[in-house]
A = this chain, B = another copy of it.
Amino acid sequence: MIKSQLNDISYLIKNDLEAFNDLFRKSLKSQVFLVDLITKYLLKQKGKKIRPLLVILSAKLSGEVNERTYRGAILVELLHSATLVHDDVVDNADKRRGFPSINAIWKNKVAVLMGDYLLARGLMIAVDGKDFDFLGIVTDAVKRMSEGELLQINKTRKLDIDESTYFKIISDKTASLLSTCCEIGAVSSSQNPEYHKALKKFGEYLGIAFQIRDDILDYIGTSSVIGKPLGGDIKEKKITLPLLFSLKNAGQDESQKVLKMIKNGSKDGDVKKIIDFVKRNKGIDYSVETSIKYSALAKEQLSIFPESESRAALMALVDFITERRN
């Protein structure tokens, strides 16, 4: 049902998405056989394409979709692909969207270079199109994404994190790119700085809600639905909002015990105990509430726009993202 919600939204801009897909495929042609082979492999794995969707809907809401909108959508999708390829090296992951990851098939060497290639290719498209305004937005996002991840690693190693640091991390590592998508869409079709600002903020709040949802999904649902094992964050010693709240909410003795388990690299039995601890101490409830709060903030930003199909679609996208089960 939720999946079909996304289909409905996509259907609204079906022609635009098709035009995007065509151009995206063309932009990935390379003279180097190995590069071509890997991009074809990546193209087979149809992701949810949420980022191009955000660019196109934001452009439609602010004005008319045009060539610049498509280039912006290609730029963010290439950037997103680059970070996924690098993330799989970073996390030593051997699967992505049900397919073996690039590093699993072609080794880390190729995956690192391929990520660099995709990033450069994306930036070149903006340079060639003289979309210099996109470049400032996008390079800031790349910087924030890597800084956010590095901050998380830093804090994870020390198991030392508070709520404001958590929000800094998720804003930088996740919200920055979604915010970029919406801002680029707006900038591509309108000169109105109010529109740019509203959609940039919309994307930022949406991104925060998105990442909180992601962090909740690590504690609920079944592994077959979300495609990754439950409690992955716990095993990696990543303290996210549900756990953070429960640690504060529970008695000090119990919290200390839980922290000790995490520190010692929780075994399977421990993971179950920690998930129970989080649920008992309202970590999930609090995180769901917080995610809904940010969704509402996101929607609020759209109030300056008159009612339209694209506004409704962006609102629906917020719901989709906050309620998704994978």
Please report A residues at the B interface, Cβ cutoff 8 Å: 30-35, 83, 86, 89-91, 108-110, 112-117, 119-121, 123-124, 127-128, 130, 132, 135-136, 139-140, 142-143, 145-147, 149-151, 153-154
User: Do B139 and A124 touch across chains, with their CB atoms under 8 A apart?
Assistant: yes
Chain B residues with CB under 8 Å of A90's CB are 108-109, 112-113
Copies held by the complex: 2
- Shortest distance between the CB of A272 and any CB in chain B (Å): 27
User: Do B117 and A147 touch across chains, with their CB atoms under 8 A apart?
Assistant: yes
Q: How far is the CA of A129 from the CA of B140 in the complex (A)?
A: 14
User: Do A32 and B154 touch across chains, with their CB atoms under 8 A apart?
Assistant: yes
User: Do A154 and B34 touch across chains, with their CB atoms under 8 A apart?
Assistant: yes
Q: How far is the CA of A324 from the CA of B136 in the complex (A)?
A: 40
Q: How far is the CA of A187 from the CA of B138 in the complex (A)?
A: 24
Q: How far is the CA of A320 from the CA of B221 in the complex (A)?
A: 63
Chain B residues with CB under 8 Å of A139's CB are 120, 123-124, 127
Smallest CB-CB separation from A148: which chain B residue?
B32
Smallest CB-CB separation from A169: which chain B residue?
B32
User: Do B109 and A91 touch across chains, with their CB atoms under 8 A apart?
Assistant: yes
